[in-house]
Chains A and B, each alone.
Chain A
Amino acid sequence: MNDDNNSPEVDETDGADAETVEASAPAKDTAKDKGNPILEFRNINTHYGAVHILKDVNLAIYPGEMVCLLGGNASGKSTTLKTLLGMVTPTTGEVVLDGEVVNDKPTSYRVERGITMVPENRRLFKRLSVAENLQLGAYLRNDKAGIQEDLERIYSMFPRVYERLSQKAGTLSGGEQQMVAMGRALMAQPRVLLMDEPSMGLAPTLVQTNFELIEQIHQEGIAIFMVEQNANMALSLADRGWVLQTGRVVLDDTADALLANPDLRKSYLGEA
């Protein structure tokens, strides 16, 4: 941790962190063995006007891993995603994509290089057809044959999406919309999928299915960066995780270690 004015509370968690790091060191190493990170935050600070949102945030996403970012309301999770995707420019620090600093590169540049987001609450283009939604996922791609191939892959992955192809996306059920949202993201041929609260607004059974879907996509070798409030579910899937508190990363560890962390259990898993 590179904070210099941490509150005593955070210092405490730091201590807990230090303990668990040793236990989980091998897991962390395997993540790093996967090569260079695709996407990296180096000491990112983001402001909205005078309001300091992200404070010295450091993150790294390696190829093919599944990581999650936990945090309560107003902790800066969404800003982290927007900064990763280039919709918000950090005031200081570097966003690094494949070793290149991309602070001033537009969103399209990053999407083209395989960074794709599944937005919170699915946010489909409601009055457009499912087919159009999927096509829009592949907006930056020009290879017609490849797009067709990917469409077919998505149809076989989600037969229900295929049935609804010409229907307006807004008329689908919540679960179906989630499938279309995933399909739309996959159409961009992502290497890293940024998922903003994938379980939000879904019925409990659907949450389960949804995480299975995410797991399935992960199996295909796509790195997943999940932003979640449902810490239990997210950590049970992820390899590593960060905990964000008022814009600062207060915990950075393997998922198992985080699950075992008493502070985290207290604040996120509702245990006394």
Chain B
Amino acid sequence: MSATIATDTAGQGMPEAVSKGAFDLDWANVAKSGSIAALIMTFIALSGMPDGLDARPIVDGVRVLTIGYLTLFAVPLAFGWMIGNEVVLEGMVATKRGPRDLVAGAAVGALGGVGLTLLVVLMSNFDLRDPLVNWSPQLFNLLTFDSGVGVGVWVWILIGAVLGAIGASLRLLPAKIRRAVIVMFLTVVGFSVLQGLIDDIVGNVGETIRDPGRFSEFFGEGDTPRPRVDSVFDPVINFIYSQTGGLKLVGAIVLALVAGALSLSGRGRIKAAKASYNAKTGPERTKQTSIMIGITAVLLILLPFFSGKIVNELLANVGIFLLLALGLNIVVGLAGILDLGYVAFFAVGGYTTAVLTAPKPGDAWPEWLPTLPWWGALLVTVVFAAITGLMIGAPVIRMRGDYLAIVTLGFGEIIRLLFLSDWLKGYFGGAQGITNIPAADFGPLGTVSGVDPRSVFYLVLVFCALAIYVSWRLERSRLGRAWMAIREDESVAEAMGINTVNVKLMAFVVGAVLASFSGAIFSAKVGSIFPSSFLILVSIIILVVVIVGGMGNIMGVIVGALVLIGVLGGPKQPGLLQEFSEYKLLIYGALLIWMMLKRPEGLVPNVRRSRELHQDEFLQDAWLKGEVDTDDEDGELATEVAPA
């Protein structure tokens, strides 16, 4: 095919795709990817995830459709999809999609399956249970589908090949259909995984609709509980979910079809709504933004009424960690100070509140130590946290990069060990901690204690809203700009006249204060406080939340906290997927590596940046058309463009 014709037909300067034979593959690449898939599958099998999660069915009654099996099935699916990835740059010739892709996917999947086959063979001959705890008969049965080694040696090669081909076949579908298929798949898995949450909230909403009187019950305290009524949504729930856990087969199919249909019809509308929002400017945009914030606020306020205790507890935990993450986001994301000992401020906030509110925190305290109400203690806590921030910050701040990170790591541990030490046992109780922290009393507004997770959620919500607002304002302030300048290039920032030491200390202090809020709420919620609540792991997990969300990105941090803490769980708190708790650090690690390789900017792309780019395009277009006279009207436009 001559180049000119190719260019003409493609219309965009891209030569037309060539077709290749079905077995004309880059076999070296297939072998490489297949081996990686085999390693990953073997690793997952031996990590205990398939076994541990086997009890969670996705579709009830179908033996292999459990979350446990899904952890293995996902690998050939993903690798089958990835092997079809082809980067076509200008001047390169694309290859036509066709049976060739299926062959590649199947080959990669089958190679991956070989990993498990080998594992099955090894397991039937050797007992390596000593180093590998999950080298168990249960895993063997799971891998051989209870059919013995005769089946085990070939079944995974077949499964791998089929799943790999399915993964690859997604490449053959038109983009719209592909999206629908993926949405269908994710919906089914999502509904299955979130069964507890959905059951709970939908059930409560349904009950309230049938018996509106229930709503008033949420406010009264001494009322006799109303008799349970059937939720109006019971038929729907019973249609989708099986009593024994998991979706019903018919329910799953209907759910998938509905999701697919919605995806096919709704996608354009979401895009249009987004575009129309982005196109708006000035007061109209502000109006729409405030409406959205209002709706979110109302939903958040109503949410705890309709969710059970476990979900509320979870939301409260997410909030506490979100507050920490927002604080660390200022330190790491904006100012670029890699603080690995952030938990220290959380601990100082928690302990200060505990000492000031508990009636008798320790024997060594003098008689005159007052017992303050929670909000009174909070004021002192803030001051204390700020002082701690200054004290830790001052020696640390003159260091850079790696040194700073290591020293903060040290300070984080020092603070915890001080609270743990025998030396200060009379004050902080050592390993026994402080255990008689009262609930936070807000008079007519009620009390906040761990017994009532809903109240904790509201308290946390208020502080998170405050933290979000403060972060948002700071990012656009002179101080925020100075932080970002230091993050980008500290010596030039200094040359601009920024007092880098003071400004960095400010970041430390603001971060410390936000963390101390979190600590204060934590101690009132739990009612007791121990050094073991402030392990280095807390710092690490919060840092992961900030990094996964996208450093310096408030929306990203919120999403990161919801996904990581809410779904997978915090350092000690289980998430929605309680069965995942055991593997959460593994998943955190894998996620972190993947993020660093593929999406260093975080899960949620920075809205502000993309908006700026849009505005830039607009400005360029306008300038080209001569609508903007750069000599005369700079000022008018500039006031609009330059961030205040």
Contacts and interface: CB of A to CB of B under 8 A. Distances in A.
A152 B492 contact: no
A211 interface: no
A139 B484 contact: no
Nearest to A149: B635
B491 interface: yes
A155 B629 CA distance: 11
B623 interface: yes
B620 to A, nearest CB: 6
Interface stretch (A17-25, A41-49, A118-126): A118-126
B398 to A, nearest CB: 14
Interface stretch (A61-69, A164-172, A224-232): A164-172
Interface string B624-644: 000000110011001101110
B496 A152 contact: no
A71 B494 CA distance: 25
B615 A166 contact: yes
Most central of A111, A136, A165, A166 by chain B CB within 10 Å = A166
Interface in B593-643: 609, 612-613, 615-616, 619-620, 623, 630-631, 634-635, 638-639, 641-643
Contacts of A168: 609
Interface in A127-141: 127-129, 131-132, 134-137, 139-140
B499 A155 contact: no
B630 A155 contact: yes
A160 to B, nearest CB: 9
B283 interface: no
A106 B491 contact: no
A106 B496 contact: no
B497 A123 contact: no
A136 B613 contact: no
A87 interface: yes
B612 A129 contact: yes
A127 B499 CA distance: 20
A159 interface: yes
B492 A139 contact: no
Contacts of A140: 496-497
Contacts of A210: none
Interface string B211-229: 0000000000000000000
B641 A106 contact: no
B120 to A, nearest CB: 50
Interface string A218-256: 000000000000000000000000000000000000000
Contact of A163 (B489, B497, B623): B623
A156 B630 contact: yes
A135 B638 contact: no
A13 interface: no
Given A131-B642, A148-B638, A163-B623, A139 B489 contact: no
Contacts of A111: 495-497
Contacts of A117: 495
Contacts of B639: 148
A87 B484 CA distance: 20
A188 interface: yes
B488 interface: yes
A107 B499 CA distance: 8
A110 B635 CA distance: 29
B613 A139 contact: no
Given A123-B492, A129-B612, A167-B613, A139 B620 contact: no
A137 B478 CA distance: 11
Given A87-B494, A139-B497, A166-B616, A125 B638 contact: no
B481 interface: yes
B485 interface: yes
Contacts of B498: 108, 136, 139
A125 B488 contact: yes
Contacts of A126: 488-489
A112 interface: yes
Given A136-B482, A167-B613, 18 more contacts: A87-B495, A117-B495, A119-B491, A127-B488, A128-B488, A136-B493, A139-B478, A139-B496, A151-B634, A155-B634, A156-B630, A159-B630, A162-B630, A163-B630, A165-B641, A166-B641, A167-B616, A188-B497
28 contacts: A87-B495, A107-B497, A108-B498, A111-B495, A111-B497, A112-B497, A125-B492, A125-B493, A126-B488, A126-B489, A132-B643, A135-B481, A135-B643, A136-B482, A139-B485, A139-B497, A148-B635, A156-B634, A159-B631, A162-B630, A162-B634, A163-B619, A163-B623, A164-B616, A166-B615, A166-B641, A167-B616, A184-B496
Interface of B: 478, 481-482, 484-485, 488-489, 491-499, 609, 612-613, 615-616, 619-620, 623, 630-631, 634-635, 638-639, 641-643
Interface of A: 85, 87, 106-108, 110-112, 117, 119, 123, 125-129, 131-132, 134-137, 139-140, 148, 151-152, 155-156, 159, 162-168, 184, 188
